[in-house]
Structure 1
Amino acid sequence: MEWQAKEEELLAKMDLVRRGFGCLAMVATWTLAELVELAVTAMVAVCENGVYTVKSGYRFLQTEFQNQQPGQSNPLMLKPLWKGIWSLKVPSKVKNLVWRAVKNSLPTKQNLVRRKVLTDDCCDQCKMQKEDTFHALYLCPKLEEIWLSKQAWNQCSLRQVTSFVDLMGHILAENRDPDLFAMVVWAIWKRRNDIRVGKRGENLPNLVQQAQTRLQNFLLHNSATTTSTGQPPTQWQPPAHQQYKINFDGALFKDENQAGLGVVIRDSKGQVMVSLAQRIPLPSTAIEVEALAARRALELALETGLNKGVLEGDSLILMNALKSNSHSLAQFGHIVNDIHYLASQFPMISFSHVRRHCNSVAHSIARRALSFSSLQVWMEDVPPEIADVLQADLIALVE
Structure 2
Amino acid sequence: MVPPKLWKLLWKIQAPPKIKNFMWRALRNCLATSENLFKRKIGRSPLCQICSTHPESVEHILLLCPWVQGVWFGGNLNYRINHLEITSLWHWLHDILLSYSNRIDDQNWLATQIVFTCWNIWKSRCKAIFEHKTPSPHSTITATRVGINNFMEAVKLSRSPHITANERTSTSPICWNPPNVGIIKVNVDASWNHNNCRAGIGVILRDSCCNFIAAKAIPSTASSALEAEAQAVLHGCELAHALACTSVIIESDSRGIIQCLNGDIARGAWAIYPILNRIREQQTLFHSCRWSWISRVANEAADLVASLAMARMSNEVWVHRPPSSLTHVLNKDGLPCPPHV
Q: State TM-score, norm by structure 1.
A: 0.40
Q: Highest Rg: 1 or 2?
A: 1
Q: State TM-score, norm by structure 2.
A: 0.46
Q: Where is the helix percentage greater, Structure 1 or Structure 2?
A: 1
Q: Which has the higher contact order (CA 8 A, sep 6+)?
A: 2
